[in-house]
Structure 1
Amino acid sequence: MAPLTQPYTEIAPAADGLPAIRRIGTSAVWRALRQGWDDFTASPTQLVFLAIIYPIIGLVAAAAAAGRDLMPLVWPLLSGFALVGPVAALGVYELSRRREQGLPVSWVNAFDVRHSPSLPSILALGVLLLAIFVAWLFTAEAIYRGSFGRMVPASTADFLAMLTGTPGGRRLMVLGNFAGFLFAAAVLALTVISFPLLLDRPVGAGAAIRASLRAVALNPMPMALWGLVVAVVLLVASIPLFVGLAVAVPVLGHATWHLYRAVMPR
């Protein structure tokens, strides 16, 4: 196993038709984050594009769930966007890929993903993530119904009181967060290198998913750290009315590309 303090060490050879995968240390995660920040600051036009898109996504989701009947799904909706985040970050991966190759980089190039030879596989993987997102919403609703039945909170204050002041609310928070963790861990394992791999090589959706699962199996501690970093950064960035996502999402997207490069030798 790779020493946790080293960026990367030995390479696990190709197996079952999958590319070779490098075993990395946890320091590779911090290195990827620094490189992601460098990519983000190197092309300031990205900020204009992302500062408009991502806050709007978060605010629309919050507004859609503000109705009384949908109030219990506000948190599952907002947190669930992390499950489809790899799709939203596709254009950012492309920008890092172009910068790595010394090509001109502009926010317009984020849309070059549509010319990728792997586009059908990328779309198939995107549909899978959408299905996981929908499954998460159904699961969250089932946990709420199991805790409170058909009871509908009269207001946000009433809902918060239900969560913090009743046994059902405490059960809801424990079970809901545990279920959310399982969904997030599944998406991490399925996608941590699969989307960048599809942009980089025409391997097919199935092979990309298996490569991602193998990368996680070979690097459990670094990948667990990466998942924790992503969760914390997205949570903190969402607090100021989601405006922080305009920086957090592209930086994490760029960093994901560099983490892929650390794991997957050329």
Structure 2
Amino acid sequence: MTRTIGNPLSWMADAAFGVGRTAGEATEALRGTVTAPPDVRHLTIQDLRVALRKGVDDFTSLRSDVIFLIAIYPIIGIALALVAFHMARLPMLFPLAAGFTLLGPVVATGLYEMSRQREAGGQAGWGAAFSVMTAPVIVPVLVLGLVLMGLFIAWMFAASLIYNVTLGPQPPASVSGFIGEVLTTAPGWAMTVLGMGVGAVFAGAVLVLSLISFPMLIDRRAGVTVAVLTSVKVARENPRIVATWGLLVAVAMVLGTLPAFLGLVIILPVLGHATWHLYRAAVPAEA
């Protein structure tokens, strides 16, 4: 049949139909096909060791692909540090570096897919990491990522407020002077204690919400609500193990910032792959 040029009304109808179909698919992806959180397993320290060992194994087997995938991470970290060293923004350097890790689960989404495909016996390369961008799971992943971004912004606001009520609101005169105030004055210690306490609350919230949810969105069409509830369920059933994992991640990420955030090239992919295997240990596979 000869194809003719449509009129503007037909173009508008086709466009509207396409937008409606896309919106419907997005809504279905957010809702998912799983109606309730699945059963979760009791985790042990041995599960953490196994997850880390498998994470290292994934990293060493896919090293070139993984490094290429996260090369932008240390670049962004260096850029944040350079911006923060403007005297007026110097007090926000540590909150930026610490808050940067709140977005790690979103960045690691591609790593989860690489581990999933390697586990299934497929060819896992950088193409596998970016394949999730076109899969139905990208919509709930982006929505959950926006939640983490909201927590990141809230953390930066809280950190700024803590500085203003302790050492601020005036910007420090120099780097050495600022470090001296932080380490040797009562307001400096108050800022440190308050900052670490409030930061721990934000980090704990992100850990509970994202530990299992992002891998679960990659693994099955669970929807945002069920994935988050499953992550909370794992944390509730295994508080000591999840807290230990959070401490390991925090220490590793601090080490990863040295030197000049370049350590994240190794730390981030290992933790990303290990998180996938921790998800496998916590949530039984579908029948």
C-alpha distance after superposition, 1:104-132 (max 9, x if no partner): 01123211111222221111100000000
Q: Report the counterpart of residue 170 of structure 2 in structure 1.
A: 151
Report deviation, 1:99.
Answer: 0.3
Counterpart secondary structure, 1:38: helix
Quote the Cα distance in structure 2 between the aligned partners of 1:101 and 1:56. 32
**Residue number among 167, 190, 211 corresponding to 1:171 in the alignment:** 190
Q: Is the 8 A contact 1:121 1:205 kept in 2?
A: yes
**Residue number among 65, 84, 93 corresponding to 2:84 in the alignment:** 65
Quote the Cα distance in structure 2 between the aligned partners of 1:128 and 1:53. 22
Residues paired across the two proteins, number = 252
Q: Report the counterpart of residue 9 of structure 1 in structure 2.
A: none
**Residue number among 103, 108, 112 corresponding to 1:84 in the alignment:** 103
Report deviation, 1:221.
Answer: 1.1
Amino acid corresponding to residue 206 of structure 1 in structure 2 = T
Runs of 4+ in 1 over 3 A off after TM superposition: none
Quote the Cα distance in structure 1 between the aligned partners of 2:223 and 2:266. 31
| Percent of residue pairs bearing the same amino acid type | 43
Quote the Cα distance in structure 1 between the aligned partners of 2:38 and 2:185. 51
**2:144 equivalent to 1:117:** no
Report deviation, 1:51.
Answer: 6.0
Quote the Cα distance in structure 2 between the aligned partners of 1:121 and 1:108. 20
User: Aligned-pair RMSD on alpha carbons?
Assistant: 1.4
Q: Report the counterpart of residue 202 of structure 1 in structure 2.
A: 221
Q: Is the 8 A contact 1:26 1:221 kept in 2?
A: no
Q: TM-score, normalising length from structure 2? A: 0.85
**2:210 equivalent to 1:191:** yes
C-alpha distance after superposition, 1:130-152 (max 9, x if no partner): 00000000000000011023221
Q: Report the counterpart of residue 182 of structure 1 in structure 2.
A: 201
Q: Report the counterpart of residue 237 of structure 2 in structure 1.
A: 218
Q: Which runs of 5+ in 2 are unaligned?
A: 1-34
Report deviation, 1:47.
Answer: 4.3
Q: Report the counterpart of residue 234 of structure 1 in structure 2.
A: 253
Q: Report the counterpart of residue 5 of structure 1 in structure 2.
A: none
**Residue number among 256, 260, 265 corresponding to 2:275 in the alignment:** 256
Q: Which runs of 5+ in 1 are unaligned?
A: 1-15
Report deviation, 1:50.
Answer: 4.2
Quote the Cα distance in structure 1 between the aligned partners of 2:71 and 2:56. 19
Quote the Cα distance in structure 2 between the aligned partners of 1:62 and 1:83. 17
Quote the Cα distance in structure 1 between the aligned partners of 2:107 and 2:131. 14
Larger Rg: 2
Q: Is the 8 A contact 2:66 2:111 kept in 1?
A: no
Quote the Cα distance in structure 2 between the aligned partners of 1:49 and 1:149. 40
C-alpha distance after superposition, 1:31-86 (max 9, x if no partner): 10000000011112224404632210210110121111111100000110111100
Quote the Cα distance in structure 2 between the aligned partners of 1:58 and 1:226. 23
Amino acid corresponding to residue 179 of structure 1 in structure 2 = V
Amino acid corresponding to residue 100 of structure 1 in structure 2 = E
Quote the Cα distance in structure 1 between the aligned partners of 2:135 and 2:118. 16
**Residue number among 227, 247, 253 corresponding to 2:266 in the alignment:** 247
Q: Report the counterpart of residue 10 of structure 1 in structure 2.
A: none
**2:42 equivalent to 1:42:** no
Q: Is the 8 A contact 2:140 2:217 kept in 1?
A: yes
Q: Report the counterpart of residue 120 of structure 2 in structure 1.
A: 101
Report deviation, 1:209.
Answer: 0.7
Quote the Cα distance in structure 1 between the aligned partners of 2:144 and 2:166. 33
Amino acid corresponding to residue 75 of structure 1 in structure 2 = F
Q: Report the counterpart of residue 33 of structure 1 in structure 2.
A: 52
